[in-house]
Structure 1
Amino acid sequence: MTTSASAPLRSGALLIGGEHVSVSSGGTHQHIYPGNGRCNATIPLAGGSEVDAAVDSSWDAHRQWTSYPVDRRRDLLMNLADAVRDHFTELTELNVHDFGAPISTAGHSVLTEQFLRYYAGYADKAHGSSTPVSGAFDVNIIEREPYGVVGVIAPWNGPLVVIGAAVAPALAAGNAVILKPSELASLGPLRFGELCLEAGLPPGLVNVLPAGPDGGQALVRHPRIGKIHFTGGQATAQKVLQAAATNLTPVVAELGGKSAFLVFADADLDASATIAAYQGPIVQAGQSCACASRILVQASVYDAFMDKFVAAVHAAKIGDPMQPDVMFGPVVSQDATDRILRIIDATLSERAGELITGGNRLGGDLADGYYIEPTIFGNVDNHSALAQNETFGPVAAVMPFADEADAIRLANDTRYGLNAFIQTSNLKRAHSVARHLQAGSIWVNRHSDIEPQGPYGGYKQSGFGRTGGIEGLHEFLQTKNIRIGMN
């Protein structure tokens, strides 16, 4: 890997069996810094031969890992959490370089330490149970065992979060991991792989293989991979599931969303507008699966909310992501820029909503980067493409609703179901509406705040399986029943 002087990188290339591999069969990727459109790294990409080597080394490391006493595994995971903590600033800067997240918020993506500490605590806890059976003296044991080697496919818009949410429980459960970050955001994951070695984990326990579609297919189709954990979009998920079907490999899929943000008339409108602005178009320029991209407002306060919402969006400083006072940065690539601008143009041409603010690519000092103005459409048709399809950009669709039943109907009228948000001062309403919303996570009077204690995942086409909590640990364990006759 070669980098510009501005990129705070130390390592070489792919990480396989504890060694850096700088020449690979999958070609290379020119990593572009979204803030200025210039290349800051050339990254080798894994192909089939690198996947084969990684699988071999991962199985060796798995056998070594499971031979350790559980308290040693726990302590090594705690060492790794310490290493992530000690390199927090470096990992935060790598987030900025990877996908253009402003440094003021990029640290929020470094949840890896929290997940490591949480799941390290499970490494030495009993995972199984026993039950009485018809044979009065028989012993019936229900064990939970690791899969062996699992593949974790991380997205570009928060790879360190996924490393925490998926790699940490996989290791605590006794598995080895082959981590495939997106070629768009490999810098942070590669550094994490190095930290695993520095913390004393066996070489090969966490292999890091940046790869494009071909390398990803080779990983998913590999017959010695026990399970795949995928985070990304629906179109890629379909390809992953088709490839996994070759060997009937089980898959966990955390997919996209089109989250509804419900604002009732009794809500604190100032707080609601601020949360909606940052949860919607501002944070990561709307490039988040938890993005509140459909904002539903009770008709009686629609105009008042809209004034406050627009003001909150305009208050966010736009600029160089490395500047500490910048809250709104670029989107990830030229392709993303073109796609989002097409969505805006199509919404205008179809008259699916009223453009309130934004809608253009930014020029001037920011012209070389991938900056799109925070964009708000009002009175959006809920059946329009803007309201129904995941935009993954700084574009919010706002629409009015009449009453509680209308709000629930509109919120659920989508094929997605990852997150939903409720703004109300009425506790009874909050509980009732939350029960009726078809989404895996409901956030009341707050933004989304993923923590390791809470299971996270989707309904409908937003995926299946969970990260976080005991549910997230169980995703990386398979169940075995052992009955011993004692009569």
Structure 2
Amino acid sequence: MSAAAAAARSALPRWWATPPAGRRDALLRLADLIAGDAETLTGLQVLEIGLPRQFAAATPQVAAEFLRYNAGWVDKLGGEVAAGATSHGWSHTLDEPYGVVAALLPYNGAVAMLGQVLGPVLAAGNAVVVKPSELAPFTAVRIGELCQQAGLPTGLVNVVTSDAAGGEALVRTPGVDKVHLTGGVSTARRILAATADRLTPASLELGGSSAHLIFADADLRAAARQALAGAVILNGQACARGSRILVEDAVYDRVLDLVLARLSQLVVGDPQRPGTVLGPLVSRAAADRIVGVVDRARRDPAAGTLVAGGERPDGDLAGGFFVTPTVFSGVEPTAELAQEEVLGPVLAFSRFSAEDEAVTLANGTRYGLAAYLHTTDLRRAHRLVRALDAGAVWVNGFPGLSPATPFGGTGHSGYGRLGGRAGVEEFRRPKTVWFGR
């Protein structure tokens, strides 16, 4: 880890001394290389995490778009002049990079995640050491090779494959100036403990237990389709997915029926096959963990009734890391399914009868990453966007994460932002300069 941090440190002056147009163009070249390498990166994701090919094929372009967007900030960010701020002179600020950033990234969505993180880190002028998940190292290694092909300075982007102990060692390494983690709460606690001695700043994009709020006036078919996506995106292993489906009483049964009808048509199986919608979980441990969550919910009266799935499939899929898409109905707010991040193909349906109750249920966890609101009432939408305790609220749909808007959470979903100008500023710090008369 120290060698990787030293390599990043040695590359930093050359990168920061490169004119802004040169750094911008280097990131654009990297974006083009990632987009052009889509077939390889798609295949690696199918093999690494079982992501169905039809979804994996879209992620290189997502990564490329994050890089292109952030490249656009390289020659546009600057400091501020504080004229007249003092009586005997004038002040201005310089925005400077932190230096060496340690980026610890998860297995789910690794290609898109690399674009989402490398874009702002490099656009802000930093060097980086990437520690991918041990469950999905090969996509990061491949993108590291593409960084070399793009002509980035040697050592600017370092990819170090390791287990969790390696990640903890990396953030303790002298010469690391900032840490970014995309992961879970337990990992965040270990990372923050490891950074405490050196007071290394950190940004954390953690998990969630996000809610869909579906009101009776919504387009119910569209809302059901979006709700079901919570069990499908990244095979249910997406931090921002909506696993809690909160539905107004008057249309509860209708929405549940729509979701179950769509769920029955999902193709679960080999992620290499074109028609597969839901593949395996990332590992046997992950599959066993989800089965454990389902088994505990079956025994918990607060978890309501299991109405679909909850099993390991038999037949040709019996030996794989598959769990059938699962739905519980009548889930109470105290249930584990409502309070904790599941990170698997499991949906928890709950009822509400009034707007205030819906907000209370949605905000009733320690997380605050995302929320999904389905209504055609514009006034209600504006009220609830403010009332929902979440870093992002999507109204009547989910277009995917945009590189132009900040993304991050509140509470146990972490702090710091990726995306938009805020994402680049996350990896820069201002220096104040004062000139006397």
- For the aligned pair, the TM-score class normalised by the smaller chain equals over 0.9
Specify the code of the residue in structure 2 equivalent to 1:294. R
Corresponding residue to 1:88 among 38, 46, 60: 38
Shift of 1:207: 0.3
Alpha-carbon distance in structure 2 between the residues aligned to 1:108 and 1:398 = 30
**Is residue 2:323 matched to residue 1:398?**
no
Structure 1, residues 296-343: CA drift from partner, whole Å, max 9, x if none?
A: 000111111111110111222111101111111111111111111011
Specify the code of the residue in structure 2 equivalent to 1:289. C
Shift of 1:146: 0.5
Corresponding residue SS for 2:130: strand
Cα 1:339–1:448 change in 2 (3 A) is: farther
Bigger Cα displacement from structure 2, 120-129 vs 464-473? 120-129
Corresponding residue to 2:124 among 173, 195, 200: 173
Specify the code of the residue in structure 2 equivalent to 1:131. A
Corresponding residue SS for 2:242: coil
Corresponding residue SS for 1:80: helix
Contact in 1 for aligned 2:90/2:436 (Cα 8 Å): yes
Alpha-carbon distance in structure 1 between the residues aligned to 2:11 and 2:211 = 44
Alpha-carbon distance in structure 2 between the residues aligned to 1:171 and 1:441 = 24
Structure 1, residues 427-456: CA drift from partner, whole Å, max 9, x if none?
A: 111111111000000011102510110100
Question: 1:39: which partner in 2?
Answer: none
Contact in 2 for aligned 1:99/1:331 (Cα 8 Å): yes
Aligned residues: 435
Question: 1:138: which partner in 2?
Answer: 89
Specify the code of the residue in structure 2 equivalent to 1:271. A
Gaps of 5+ in 1: 1-50
Specify the code of the residue in structure 2 equivalent to 1:360. E
Structure 1, residues 332-364: CA drift from partner, whole Å, max 9, x if none?
A: 111111111011011111232101010100121
Corresponding residue to 2:362 among 382, 389, 411: 411
Contact in 1 for aligned 2:96/2:430 (Cα 8 Å): yes
Cα 1:366–1:119 change in 2 (3 A) is: same
Alpha-carbon distance in structure 2 between the residues aligned to 1:147 and 1:54 = 17
Specify the code of the residue in structure 2 equivalent to 1:306. L
Corresponding residue to 1:302 among 247, 252, 259: 252
Identity over aligned pairs, percent: 44
Contact in 1 for aligned 2:109/2:234 (Cα 8 Å): no
Question: 2:386: which partner in 1?
Answer: 435
Alpha-carbon distance in structure 1 between the residues aligned to 2:402 and 2:77 = 23
Contact in 2 for aligned 1:353/1:379 (Cα 8 Å): yes
Question: 1:471: which partner in 2?
Answer: 422
Question: 1:446: which partner in 2?
Answer: 397
Corresponding residue SS for 2:264: helix
**Is residue 2:312 matched to residue 1:365?**
no
**Is residue 2:214 matched to residue 1:284?**
no
Once the two structures are superposed, the pairs formed by residues 12-411 of structure 1 within 5 Å of their partners are: 51-110=1-60, 111-135=62-86, 138-278=89-229, 280-351=230-301, 352-411=303-362
Corresponding residue SS for 2:271: coil
Question: 1:425: which partner in 2?
Answer: 376
Alpha-carbon distance in structure 2 between the residues aligned to 1:163 and 1:473 = 15
Structure 1, residues 211-232: CA drift from partner, whole Å, max 9, x if none?
A: 1122111111112101001000
Corresponding residue SS for 2:203: strand
Alpha-carbon distance in structure 2 between the residues aligned to 1:153 and 1:160 = 13
Corresponding residue SS for 1:315: coil
Alpha-carbon distance in structure 1 between the residues aligned to 2:70 and 2:233 = 28
Corresponding residue SS for 1:165: helix
Alpha-carbon distance in structure 2 between the residues aligned to 1:251 and 1:184 = 23
Cα 1:126–1:267 change in 2 (3 A) is: closer
Shift of 1:389: 0.8
Shift of 1:268: 1.1
**TM (normalized to structure 1)?**
0.88
Contact in 2 for aligned 1:290/1:448 (Cα 8 Å): no
Shift of 1:173: 0.9
Cα 1:135–1:246 change in 2 (3 A) is: closer
Alpha-carbon distance in structure 2 between the residues aligned to 1:477 and 1:134 = 23
Alpha-carbon distance in structure 2 between the residues aligned to 1:139 and 1:190 = 48
Shift of 1:124: 1.4
Alpha-carbon distance in structure 1 between the residues aligned to 2:97 and 2:413 = 26
Shift of 1:98: 1.7
Shift of 1:138: 2.4
Specify the code of the residue in structure 2 equivalent to 1:479. P
Corresponding residue SS for 1:143: strand
Corresponding residue SS for 2:368: coil
Specify the code of the residue in structure 2 equivalent to 1:102. P
Corresponding residue SS for 1:157: coil
Alpha-carbon distance in structure 2 between the residues aligned to 1:434 and 1:117 = 29
Corresponding residue SS for 2:217: coil
Specify the code of the residue in structure 2 equivalent to 1:64. R
CA RMSD for the aligned pairs?
1.2
**TM (normalized to structure 2)?**
0.97
Query: Where do 4+ consecutive residues of structure 1 move more than 6 Å?
Result: none
Contact in 2 for aligned 1:234/1:256 (Cα 8 Å): yes
Contact in 1 for aligned 2:85/2:91 (Cα 8 Å): no
Alpha-carbon distance in structure 1 between the residues aligned to 2:58 and 2:26 = 24
